[in-house]
Structure 1
Amino acid sequence: MASIQDLVFDSPHPASSARFWAQVLDDYEIAPYDEEELARLRSRGIDDPEDDPTVLLVAADASLPRIFFQLVPEGKRAKNRLHLDLRVADAVAEAERLCGLGATVQAEREEWITMQDPDGNEFCLMRS
């Protein structure tokens, strides 16, 4: 039997993708960069966490999966094979807030609103 440890998103700029999703998801934040992590980055020739090729989001509840954003050179070419459905109190208000963060509305249905994050990854806001 398996359990989910990490969700991994491909991204052209992991730091900005992580910032977007940290603002979208309750109780998630970018994992802090301690001195050990900064030293690891410097050993790879990376002086600024903004250029980190793998940025991690962690949840306050350690039982929730971590979310990684990893650098990939190619852009997104097709619809996601997997997407997130997010539970929200007010889908319309949340869609407006997320558009202000750089998301876009793709379609509105009776039960959900389909959106894309700034990297073009689809996700849905479920209407209650």
Structure 2
Amino acid sequence: MARLHDIVIDCAHPAVTARFWAAALDGYSVAPYDDAELARLRAQGIAGPEDDPTVLVEPSGGGPRLWCQLVPEPKRVKNRLHLDLVSGAAEAEIGRLAGLGATVLARHEDHWVLADPEGNEFCLFPTAS
């Protein structure tokens, strides 16, 4: 039986998108770059982490990893798959996410639809605190 391992986000600026999701999600951070990884990037002609075409965002505990991957084409239509987030303080979380670069696209009766800095939609649902 298969299990979810990674979620891949296509984007124009992987490092920026990775930093957004690392800050947006509790317990996630951009994977550190060690000397071996920096050498690997340089060998491929990549100046450093800011230009890395695939940036990993790791959970500190369980859960899927996020890969932010460079693609040449811009986002044109609504995502066919999106993330649903929950927060016990949804109104405050909307403000925090907007401060990180998210855009509120719509408010529905039971949730908000937002977009990350690349325009990828995601939803935020309130939970009982």
Secondary structure of residue in 2 paired with 1:4: coil
Deviations 1:56-115 (A, max 9, x none): 001111x31110000011110110000011011121111111111111101111210100
Corresponding residue of 1:32: 32
Q: 2 CA distance for matches of 1:73 and 1:13?
A: 10
Q: 1 CA distance for matches of 2:114 and 2:26?
A: 18
CA contact (8 A) 1:91 1:113 kept: no
Secondary structure of residue in 2 paired with 1:42: helix
Cα drift, residue 127 of structure 1: 1.7
Deviations 1:7-31 (A, max 9, x none): 0000100000000111100010000
Matched, 1:105 2:83: no
Secondary structure of residue in 1 paired with 2:21: helix
Give the aligned residue type for 1:75.
P
TM-score, with length taken from structure 2? 0.95
**Percent identity at matched positions?**
58
CA contact (8 A) 1:105 1:114 kept: yes
- Structure 1 residue runs of 4 or more that deviate by more than 4 Å after TM superposition: none
CA RMSD of aligned residues (A): 0.8
Give the aligned residue type for 2:83.
L
Q: 1 CA distance for matches of 2:88 and 2:114?
A: 16
CA contact (8 A) 1:15 1:55 kept: yes
Q: Mind listing any 5+ residue stretches in structure 2 that lack a counterpart? A: none
Corresponding residue of 1:115: 114
TM-score, with length taken from structure 1? 0.96
Matched, 1:43 2:11: no
Q: Mind listing any 5+ residue stretches in structure 1 that lack a counterpart? A: none
